[in-house]
Structure 1
Amino acid sequence: MPTPEFILSLREKIGNDPLWLPGVKAVVHRDDGALLLVKRADNGQWTLPAGIIEPGEEPAATAVREVLEETGVDVAVDRLAGIGTTDPVTYPNGDHAQYLDLVFACRYLRGTARVNDDENTKVEWFTDDERPVLPPKHARAVDWARSAESAAHFVR
């Protein structure tokens, strides 16, 4: 999905200056334990499906929407697994951003995993033995979602 309209509007006013934005990561598991990952088109890294919360959108609904938009898979959100921040990001066009990162533990419902947008070049299910190395805060999100604790994790 292209950059949301509300961000383009903000960028007209502030240029490339840093934006603080709310975002989600979706940790999606099938019943067999496989984890859904996407390979990003911009940097070639394997990551969790993720995205920006639109103004007025409920964060859990964002997680469901982003997974469907990126992978063609329908999910149900089971719980908020954790809250953190991402590292600051500088995009190829010079835009700067950092995200409040809400991590949701999600369960696969239906659909065939596939590349469903232009943000990713691959979409695949991985067992723990096959899983590629993830960026640290994506690996942290997986750990949070897999934790037996029901309370959301956060950095103290």
Structure 2
Amino acid sequence: MATPDFILELRAHVGSMPLWLSGSAAGIHRLSADGRTEWLFVRRADNGRWSVLTGIVDPGEHPAEAAVREASEEAGIDVEVERLVWQSVTDLVTYANGDQTRYINHIFRCRWLGGDPRPVDGENTEVAFFPEGEFPPLSDEHTRIMAVLVADAPECGLGALPHA
């Protein structure tokens, strides 16, 4: 996963000290030809795990715009943000190089508008829609993200993601 230039510039000043960053996750759904709900997942190139689309919000960018941008950059598709489903703060993340980050995550429910899903920018090796209830193996965090996306409660959840 490529590190955005603005983070590299910050790291030149603060080293590996914890950074507070904004993240955006896009739970993208569509209806299949037989009327079933399908959800888009990507297989990450860095660890081989399946996940929803995620990315770092650029300086001055709205988190919802980041979700739309990431869908285009990583999967070659157009999406529309329906709404913010959940907002949480991650535990401290320590990367292999020692850099530390904590993210305020914005989880958006998005509707697929068009485009043929495919890996575009090298961050993923596979991109595919899966029928609801037939998801690929997911981490605990992404299982919890999918639970709140599928539940589609009318209010935005705040705080730690509920256990699925």
Is TM more than 0.5 here? yes
Q: Distance in 1 between matches of 2:90 and 2:125?
A: 22
Give the corresponding residue for 2:19.
19
Q: Normalising to structure 2: TM-score of the pair? A: 0.88
Matched, 1:31 2:48: no
* CA deviation string 1:92-142 (max 9, x = no partner): 332221211100000000000000111111111111343112122222222
Bigger shift: residues 92-101 or 38-47 = 92-101
Q: Normalising to structure 1: TM-score of the pair? A: 0.92
**Count of aligned positions:** 156
Which amino acid is the alignment partner of residue 82 of structure 1?
W
SS in 2 for 1:30: strand
SS in 1 for 2:109: strand
TM superposition shift of 1:14: 1.1
> Contact 1:28–1:35 at 8 Å: present in 2 too?
yes
Structural RMSD (CA): 1.6
Give the corresponding residue for 1:66.
70
* CA deviation string 1:49-103 (max 9, x = no partner): 0001111101110000011111001000000000112333222332221211100
Q: Distance in 1 between matches of 2:153 and 2:2?
A: 36
* CA deviation string 1:5-39 (max 9, x = no partner): 11011000111222121001100001231110111
> Where do residues 78-89 of structure 1 align in structure 2 (5 Å cutoff)?
78-89=82-93
Which amino acid is the alignment partner of residue 11 of structure 2?
R
Matched, 1:137 2:138: no
- Seq. identity, %: 45
User: Structure 1 segments of 4 or more deviating over 3 A?
Assistant: none
Unaligned runs of 5+ in 1: none
Which amino acid is the alignment partner of residue 123 of structure 2?
E
> Where do residues 1-156 of structure 1 align in structure 2 (5 Å cutoff)?
2-32=2-32, 33-155=37-159
Q: Distance in 2 between matches of 1:45 and 1:93?
A: 20
Which amino acid is the alignment partner of residue 63 of structure 1?
A
